[in-house]
Structure 1
Amino acid sequence: MAKQTWLITGVSSGFGRSMTTQLLAAGNTVIGTVRNTTKVQDLIDDYPDTFICETLDVTDVPAIHRLVDRLAATHNIDVLVNNAGYGLFGAAEELGDQDVDKIIATDLTGSIQMIRSVLPYMRAQNHGRIIQISSYGGQVAYPGNSMYHAAKFGIEGFCESVAQEVAAFNIGVTIVEPGGARTEFRYGSAQVANLMPAYDDNPAHAFLAMLDPANGLAPGDPQRMAARIIESVDQTPAPLHMVLGSDAREKTIARLQERLAEYQSEADLAASTNFPVGD
């Protein structure tokens, strides 16, 4: 892979951190955004010429536009990776209004605005790659995770549309759908709503077992997943969907098969709402 400049949001942990360390070790330039520089001070020290650390809250839309405009004045951004985000668990009824607004602003709107900000510059340079970190939770929904699924289903629809809009400008879009991975997303940064006793014996609280490491760790290796994401940039055309983890692949295929069977069973129902032929 030729040396490139990558703009990655949320590089203090998880996939963002793993990708950044691998890219820097290979001689690439990484512009990494964080909310607090403390966790990446080692990268700042070790790669003073190729790691550019920027403080950004992706819920601050004007700040996103200002940052990208400033960076684009001195750098060609070859790859954007939308990685910043978090998980929110709890039944829909257990979530507060602020919980709903915050996760949409972070996991959905923040990604949309990052993509919108870089597109004019990628179009002008006639190349670019957008990598959206989603989840197989952008295809498969579970109880107790409604707002996370709302954000991921939403960003996948946005990216599928944008991919068709920008292909003519040599810009590729890849939606990454990891399964469970041993990152802070599950074992550190996940947020839990104010749980109600009414849901204690409900599937909406099944996530509590998943978040407890004592019940077994997730199978996904963040370093291997990061390596596969980096390698995808060399694929032409860009893969639109990239599922990582055999667990994610199996569950996604099963859900898509269920969905297809459901739609196929509704042929008569769908046709019953058309005007009669000839009318």
Structure 2
Amino acid sequence: MPTLADQAERHWFITGAAGGLGRHLTAHALREGDRVTATVRRPAALDDLRETHGDRLTVEVLDLTRPADIDRVIGATLRRRPVDIVVNNAGYAVVGAAEEMTAQQVRDQVEVLLLAPMMITRAFLRPMREQGGGRIIQISSMGGQIGTPTHSAYHAGKWGLEGYTESVSQEVADFDIHLTLVQPGATRTGFAAALRYTTETAPYRDHVVGRTRRALAGADESLFTGDPARLAAAVHATTRQHRPPLRLTLGADTYHAIHAALTERRTALESQQPLAASVAFRD
């Protein structure tokens, strides 16, 4: 019996499709003959793709900080046709010391990076289970496996997304629903230019937070090695695999950073083996 990986035409639901990786994924899926429902904040951003691909592209306006909007858009999408592939792509980063972040900045960051993908994933599980399978692509980052100063709220969202996805993937694998975490590195998507910054405070200005802030503000994205078109093609290829990977690490910088982080954590864990065993009850 043909599976999703074998279908000639599939229907994608992609958030944050106005630019960056989301737009590249949308364009790639359309070129491959699939249908896409793309969510954006500015509908005119995809006018050129609509002109080229006609009714195979549906554009929906969606603000991920409004749960009622999520329910409305997903409901309308599913009434049109079943969804085979979901891509939780929308995101941004707030840069600054944790102490500098306002409560609203923290809430909005976690809402977009973690809570919205959780709600979107949950909303599609039942229809995917009832239709016999599906794919959910979570756009994480190397920031889902490593931690850097100035990105505490961003890391909270991405690390949370990784744990959530690993758990859900085990719950639904028997229904032929597969989840994949995509971990890009520095990619030329305009993400760096769209960073949002806290109001800088004097205590952090001349320390690691200030130095990191200035480095990011002056970053030259033309030096980033990640090609978003190649990244989109790699993500698309996993949807044609019968057993896609749980994690897809894309970018040499990502590979080396995550490898170093995991090696360091493993070394630290192994050094604590005697202590770990020492807290057991003694007969």
TM over 0.5: yes
Shift of 1:74: 2.5
Match of 1:121 in 2: 127
Match of 2:209 in 1: 204
Counterpart among 89, 94, 119 of residue 88 in structure 1: 94
Q: Describe the shift of the 1:199–1:9 C-alpha distance in structure 2 as closer, same or farther (beyond 3 A).
A: same
Match of 1:224 in 2: 230
Distance 1:182 1:160 in 2: 28
Match of 1:112 in 2: 118
* Divergent runs of 4+, >3 A: 213-216
Task: State yes or no: 1:163 paired with 2:169.
Answer: yes
Shift of 1:45: 2.2
Shift of 1:69: 2.3
TM-score under structure 1 normalisation? Answer: 0.95
Q: Describe the shift of the 1:216–1:31 C-alpha distance in structure 2 as closer, same or farther (beyond 3 A).
A: closer
Give the secondary-structure state (helix, strand or coil) at the position aligned to 1:73. helix
Match of 2:178 in 1: 172
TM-score under structure 2 normalisation? Answer: 0.94
Unpaired stretches in structure 1, ≥5 consecutive residues:
none
The alignment covers a number of residue pairs equal to: 276
Match of 2:13 in 1: 7
Amino acid at match of 1:49: D
Give the secondary-structure state (helix, strand or coil) at the position aligned to 2:59. strand
Cα deviation 1:202-226 (Å, max 9, x = unaligned): 2223143134244862111111111
Distance 2:111 2:260 in 1: 30
**Further displaced range: 111-120 or 43-52:** 43-52
- Does the 8 Å CA contact 1:83/1:133 hold for their aligned counterparts? yes
Task: State yes or no: 1:72 paired with 2:78.
Answer: yes
Q: Describe the shift of the 1:215–1:65 C-alpha distance in structure 2 as closer, same or farther (beyond 3 A).
A: closer
Task: State yes or no: 1:195 paired with 2:167.
Answer: no
- Does the 8 Å CA contact 2:188/2:221 hold for their aligned counterparts? no
- Does the 8 Å CA contact 2:190/2:221 hold for their aligned counterparts? no
Shift of 1:186: 1.2
Task: State yes or no: 1:243 paired with 2:243.
Answer: no
Distance 2:220 2:187 in 1: 15
Distance 2:53 2:257 in 1: 40
Match of 2:24 in 1: 18
- Does the 8 Å CA contact 1:209/1:215 hold for their aligned counterparts? no
The Cα RMSD (Å) is: 1.4
Mapping 1:237-276, distance limit 5 Å: 237-276=243-282
Match of 2:158 in 1: 152
Unpaired stretches in structure 2, ≥5 consecutive residues:
1-5
